Amino acid sequence: MLNNKKTAEAMNQEDIKFVCLREIRPFLLDANEFATLESGGPLFSATTMDSLALVNLVVALEKSFSIDIDAENLDEVFSTLATLVAYIQKKLQP
């Protein structure tokens, strides 16, 4: 978890990606799924990424970034790592 909102706002895209990958890793079965996701593959192609895993991931990301993730358009936001990072980056902007 980040220490405060100011720290989160100062994060760049690579920092956000690193934290996202750290939070996603426990939901993936193997290194192949991680590599697929990291190279731009769909997040929901991971065999363990079901609706319950998504809820747990949302909660983890909300805590890590001190943000609220809107329930609308979750399929779009969580379609790839890039869309997730872009969404979080936008949420962190003042």
d(C-alpha 82, C-alpha 5), whole Å: 22
The structural domain count of the chain equals 1
Q: In this predicted structure, what is the pLDDT of residue 3?
A: 45
- What is the residue range of 56's domain? 5-92
Could you tell me the mean pLDDT of each successive run of 10 residues in the chain, 94 residues long? 54 94 88 87 78 92 95 91 96 89
Q: What is the pTM of this model?
A: 0.84
Helix, coil or strand: residue 37: helix
- CATH label of the domain that carries residue 73: 1.10.1200.10
Q: HSE, CB side, 13 Å, CA atoms: give it for residue 63.
A: 9
- Alpha-carbon gap, residue 52 to 7, rounded angstroms: 29
